[in-house]
Amino acid sequence: MHSNGHHHIPPVVTVQEFTEDVVARHIAIGPRYRRALMIFGVLFLLGVAAFVAKAATDGIGVDKRASWGYLAAITAYLLTTAGTAPLALIGLRAIKAHWRRPLARLAELYGLVTVLILLLVVALMFFIPSAMNRRTMYFQSDGVTFPGTLGKIPGAPHVYDLVLLLALVAGGIGLWWLSARADKGLIADHQGKPRNTFWGTAKQWKVQQVGLGLLGAAYFITAVGFITFFSIDFAMALAPGWKDAIFAPLQGITGLQGGLATLILSMYVLRRWGHFERYIFMEHFWAASKILLALCLLWFYFSWSAFIIFWYGRQPAEFSVMQLLYFGPYEWFFYGAFLFCFVAPFLTLLWNSVRKSATGPAIAAGMILVGNLFDKIRLYAGTWSVPNDQIADHAMSSVPLVRYPNALDIMMMVGAVSGALFIVLWMGRKAPIVSMWEMSEGLRLRVVRNFLRTRLTVLGKPE
């Protein structure tokens, strides 16, 4: 039992009213939704055209990697925003958090963006050389270049990254499909059509509950694993002298922060322009903002722990890495990442009055998404600019100059983000963009009662 104050009590909505409202919204697509689909679809196609044009002009291959750093950056950005959005839902389902319900389907839809991430990573693999005779986590060589190391590991790093990513894609598709079956059955009932595979029997609900738990666990493990492999193979291993045991965990924290920020901002858009204010209210943003505040502090802690090693080590190899990533050609991207991933959202969410609103957490989430982009540009555009003939050395002989994005790079980055949003909106037409069965379950567990001079929201606990 809890009280949000008289002015924060959500409207009382019955399950039948909610179901009829969401079904009507889903069946009748509005002009604003169509317009968004068209805009994002066109921008995505322009991004594909930019990729083709850049491949024709700059070429594809390991020796052409420096020209493609911004494509690697936007791929990492999608991975640590859309690709990690389901992680927030998986954790909240595990602890049976009631306020997760409005963002459940949004998180599952973002899990489908892993299909686009797969296409981008496959394209990036053409620019990554074999791990043989390089300083990577595979520790393999011909036995002459690096005596005492392992022999040849077939397909490293490409095969192992691809296997993990395929498992992640399968988990993302499975989460959405299993959860959407019940809603598709409700839509079919209201349209007078026969149900296909889900009839709502006790056994099917049990299978769905267990299946979502198993798929969620699998998605969490593969997401953490792939972020680790991707960040090392597509960034750290390309900068000679960069040895950092904290880098992969930091990218995991960045993914949790970016994924939750993606959901908060999407939830705000759904409330503000989708007119779901009857079902998405202040307490959902208030609860999510507390976790986001903690993730901002974790981002700073892990970033500082990684930076301090280079700062006090000051070995020549470490100094070159510090110049490349922090105070050299990409210093302004580092300052932008530090400002928007930690300073600005932390100072925003520090105030309870800001957290107890829908707008405040959404603004902080938008800042984090901007900072995440700056962070990925400095990491991936920076390391991909290291000359190919240096990546097997002990240290960088010189710090490469900054490479700013050209028109084709910008078109590809905008196209990639637009493609992710297009997938979310397009698949949002296959099943309601708000999970009907989870919201209905929550409505059955909630009642508003008078208590003295205020009103309280009483939540039931079925387990």
Answer whether 4's CB lies under 8 Å from 283's CB. Answer: yes
Residue 453 within a domain: no
pLDDT value for 460: 76
How far apart CA 434 and CA 285 sit, in angstroms, is: 16
Residue 20 within a domain: yes
Residue 451 within a domain: no
Q: Answer left, alpha or beta for residue 169, where phi above 0 means left and psi between -120 and 50 means alpha.
A: alpha
Q: Kindly report, residue by residue over 321-377, the tens digit of the pLDDT.
A: 999 999 999 999 999 999 999 999 999 999 999 999 999 999 999 999 999 999 999
Residue 415 within a domain: yes
- For each of the chain's 463 residues, which pLDDT tens digit applies? 444 444 455 667 888 888 889 988 888 888 999 999 999 999 999 999 999 999 999 999 999 999 999 999 999 999 999 999 999 999 999 988 888 999 999 999 999 999 999 999 999 999 999 988 888 888 777 766 666 665 678 888 999 999 999 999 999 999 999 999 999 988 888 877 787 778 888 999 999 999 999 999 999 999 999 999 999 999 999 999 899 999 999 999 999 999 999 999 999 999 999 889 888 988 899 999 999 999 999 999 999 999 998 899 888 889 999 999 999 999 999 999 999 999 999 999 999 999 999 999 999 999 999 999 999 999 999 999 999 888 888 888 889 999 999 999 999 999 999 999 999 999 999 999 999 999 988 888 877 778 788 777 777 776 6
Q: Kindly report, residue by residue over 257-281, the tens digit of the pLDDT.
A: 999 999 999 999 999 998 898 889 8
For 433, residues 6+ apart whose C-beta sits below 8 A from its C-beta are 26, 105, 106, 109, 270, 274
Pick from 303, 322, 336: which is nearest to 395 by CA?
322
Residue 450 within a domain: no
Residue 114 domain boundaries: 6-441
Residue percentage of the chain with pLDDT more than 70: 95
User: DSSP 3-state helix, strand, coil percentages of the chain (rounded to 5)?
Assistant: 70, 5, 30
Q: Structure tokens of 413? A: 């980055």
Which uninterrupted H or E stretch holds 455?
strand 454-459
Number of compact structural domains in the chain = 1
pLDDT value for 7: 47
How far apart CA 340 and CA 368 sit, in angstroms, is: 5
Whether the pTM exceeds 0.75: the reply is yes
Residue 459 within a domain: no
How many CA atoms, within 13 angstroms, populate the side-chain half-sphere of residue 413?
21
- Work out the widest C-alpha separation in the chain, in whole angstroms: 81
